[in-house]
Amino acid sequence: MGATIDRLSVPGASLYYEVRGSGPTLLIVPSGNGDATPFAPLAQLLSDRYQVITYDRRGFSRSELNGPVEDCHRLDEDAADGRRLLEHLADGPAAVFGSSSGGIVALALLANHPEYVHTVVSHEPPLASVLPDADYWIDFYAEVYERFRASGVEAAQRAFRAGMGMERTTRPPRQTELPPKEREELLARIKRNHVFWFEHELRGYPAYLPDTARLRTLSDKLVLACSDTAREALPYRPNAVLAELLAKSIIHLPGGHVGYVTHPSEFASALDGILRRTA
């Protein structure tokens, strides 16, 4: 089943989005790469049970900005974009899955617009702000940003991945690899996206301090998910803290931080199981 591709005009941007399948709505919020395409295999696998919406977050890839970037309001705008897509495409409260930076957006969407969602699965949001060693990690992100400014994207990426413990493979299985031309186009978009991410997201999103008192009142809608590997690495730790603060359990999903890419079939099955239990 192919994707229906369209755009939604929102304040300050034009959002590129894709819709697959029919049934209950599932909105997938992309990670720090900002691009919908890495989530396409997961979306396709779920499209026989859900109306799956994938999109490029504002400022990334094909979701062009038509106004200035206001970093102090960008996370709220990201969350509002999720709400706008649901207003436009969903018949009622929907499920939302967000990974990494998308997991932070998903938490903000739940806190800011809870009436639009019935289940939010936040997968390994890198919320340094909630950690007992938050100052160390906020400084780490600042140092990576300075590396970016001084030495460029590739040097900063190496420092970031090493510090985060994210050195496992991110290659998809052969059956979900893109054709060469599409892969080349994706890599070109992501290369541009990295610059935007370093400038506008690297430092601000991990420093976001969620309102845990508000999330506690909404905890019946929240699923905290982590990979089933590398529990000592930073991507796992924020949800472990949130689980304790919110009296929640962590649900484990297959693969590492990008298990939706490396293990799409197993990931889709596990995510579907979560959504069936919480619908």
Q: What is the pLDDT of residues 231-259, one digit of tens each?
A: 778 889 999 999 999 999 999 999 888 88
Q: What pLDDT does residue 168 have?
A: 64
Q: What is the pLDDT of residues 159-207, one digit of tens each?
A: 998 888 776 666 777 777 888 899 999 889 999 999 999 999 999 999 9
For the record, the structure tokens of 250 come out as 């962590």
Query: What order of strands is seen across the sheet that includes strand 4-10?
Result: 4-10, 13-20, 51-55, 25-29, 94-99, 117-123, 222-227, 250-253
Provide the β-strand partners of residue 97.
Answer: 28, 121
Q: What pLDDT does residue 1 have?
A: 59
How many CB atoms are located within 10 Å of the residue 251 CB? 19
3-class secondary structure, 279: coil
Q: What pLDDT does residue 169 have?
A: 62
For the record, the structure tokens of 156 come out as 């900063």
Q: What pLDDT does residue 236 have?
A: 92
The hierarchical CATH code for the domain 4-278 is 3.40.50.1820
Q: What pLDDT does residue 222 have?
A: 98
AA identity, residue 81: D
For the record, the structure tokens of 206 come out as 């991990």
Q: What pLDDT does residue 89 have?
A: 98
Q: What pLDDT does residue 208 have?
A: 95
* Helical pair 153-164 and 180-200, crossing angle rounded to 10 deg: 80
**β strands within the chain, DSSP E:** 4-10, 13-20, 25-29, 51-55, 94-99, 117-123, 222-227, 250-253
d(CA 50, CA 262): 21
Provide the β-strand partners of residue 52.
Answer: 20, 26
Q: What pLDDT does residue 125 have?
A: 96
Q: What pLDDT does residue 75 have?
A: 96
* Segments of the chain scoring below 70 in pLDDT: 1, 167-170, 279
CB 33 within 8 A of CB 102: no
Q: What pLDDT does residue 173 have?
A: 76
d(CA 46, CA 50): 6
pTM, entire model: 0.95
For residue 204, the surrounding DSSP H or E stretch is helix 204-207
Residues in CB range of 217: below 8 A, 6 or more apart = none
